[in-house]
Amino acid sequence: MEDATRSLSPINVEEQAFQMIEFFAALGWQKLGLQPDMMTGKTEQDLPQAKLAIDLTAALADVVIPKLPDDDQRTLRNLVTDLRVNYVQRAGGS
């Protein structure tokens, strides 16, 4: 048991935040109806849930972006932009 404890490293908050960003982004795509739901396997649109997932993705990204290299910053900004554009398209905007 001691060996297993010694091999574990402390939790890195930035890494955890990035995983949460990926999770909420995936939920956003699912709730936009662009990917199957990870629990049911069905593709269904739920725009209020999509907006919440996208807003959470954006909020977390805003906190993490300043700590990332330029390429990763650009990737995250593009992810948030793509989610928002797809939301507007599905919500009836242009």
Per DSSP, the residues of the chain read -HHHHHH--PPPHHHHHHHHHHHHHHHHHHHTTSS--TTT------HHHHHHHHHHHHHHHHHHGGGS-HHHHHHHHHHHHHHHHHHHHHTT--
Domain membership of residue 1 (yes or no) is no
Domain membership of residue 2 (yes or no) is no
Domain membership of residue 4 (yes or no) is no
Q: How far apart are CA 61 and CA 80, in angstroms?
A: 8
User: Which domain, by its residues, includes 72?
Assistant: 9-90
Q: According to the model, what pLDDT value does residue 38 have? A: 86
Q: According to the model, what pLDDT value does residue 5 have? A: 59
Q: According to the model, what pLDDT value does residue 4 have? A: 59
Mean pLDDT per 10-residue section of the chain, whose length is 94 residues: 69 89 97 93 96 98 92 94 97 77
Q: According to the model, what pLDDT value does residue 3 have? A: 59
Domains identified in the chain, total number: 1
> What is the pTM for the complete model shown?
0.85
Domain membership of residue 55 (yes or no) is yes
